[in-house]
A = this chain, B = another copy of it.
Amino acid sequence: MSIVVVGSIAFDSIATPSGRVENILGGAATYFSLAASYFTEVRVVAVVGEDFSAENEKVLTNRKIDIRGIDHAQGKTFRWGGQYLDNLNEAKTNFTELNVFEKFQPHIPEAYQDSQFLFLANIQPSLQAAVRLEMEGVRLTGGDTMNYWIKDFRGELLETLRLVNILLINDGETKMLAGDTSLPRAAKKVLSMGPQALVVKHGEYGATIFFREGAFGVGSHPFRAPALPLEEVKDPTGAGDSFAGGFMGYLASEGEINREVLKRALFYGGVMGSFAVERFGTERLQNLTREDIDGRFQVFRELTHLE
């Protein structure tokens, strides 16, 4: 089944211990779409500027991603500059130029309306809510957010969380949103805000999914998937969005969502995140095969499985 993603398309300038790149294609919607495209049909809702080239577009269309929901606006595409020179786990932002993204009003093509899966990447919470409400046929909505919205747009965010079935955020965001320093307690509080499941991304330590009692199955036992110990992380940018793409893409490909499917989705999320960071930008996500992905899935499985 197809999935719609709404989020940013950007040009990123990135410095890491492995090197430095300027104005390469990035953005949450881009990473998400590429990662999810190995599992299901992906449809993007985003905005780009006049500097978005045919070559940029081809990165998406080569993966058969539906780009009818990408608005071409006057001006420049969103640009972000960041570095991970001291700490690969946390980006230091050098600059943010919102450009056309500042006035982004998501337009959902009529043709997208039969999608049953939706992912609200990290954008203004009230835009997330508007998209969700416009997509009447959606059965399962995943969402992301960040510290900025948690701190300064809490009211809007809480409204949006009631519309999200599965929230995917990191440890710090979970604790900030809940106002609790214990992750399992914070997770429980976040689940009381609306989502039936919460995926907490731990970076190099993998991810944990917490369930509201009885959601998608029996009980409320969490489940954890590892991350791959990689000797060289070339560029961590987009790891979380690629994780979300693998996770949601796999769910959409299965259709029926239960605990076992969600567990495997958590592993596929880790798999796609691990590919993303092996090269700068989206390079590694452009030319994978399903065999590459399932091979790495087995590596992840062996990483934590007892005989």
Contact = CB atoms under 8 A, between A and B. Distances in A.
Q: Which of A202, A231, A233, A263 has the most CB of B within 10 A?
A: A231
A304 B229 contact: no
B185 A307 contact: no
Number of copies: 2
Interface residues of A, number: 39
Q: Which of A183, A188, A229, A302 has the most CB of B within 10 A?
A: A229
Interface stretch (A93-101, A138-146, A216-224, A245-253): A216-224
Contacts of A185: 231-232
B260 A223 contact: no
A133 interface: no
A293 to B, nearest CB: 15
A85 to B, nearest CB: 10
A303 B229 contact: no
B231 A304 contact: no
Nearest to A180: B231
B306 A267 contact: yes
A96 to B, nearest CB: 26
Interface string A231-245: 111000000000000
A9 B110 CA distance: 71
Contact of A183 (B181, B182, B229): B229
A233 B306 contact: no
Contacts of A182: 88, 230-233
Nearest to A223: B303
Contact of A303 (B187, B222, B303): B222
Contacts of A181: 17, 87-88
A225 B260 contact: no
Interface of A: 17, 87-88, 181-185, 187-188, 202, 204-206, 208, 210, 221-226, 229-233, 260, 263-264, 267, 299, 301-307
Given A184-B230, A224-B226, 10 more contacts: A88-B181, A182-B230, A202-B205, A208-B229, A222-B229, A224-B229, A224-B303, A263-B307, A264-B306, A304-B304
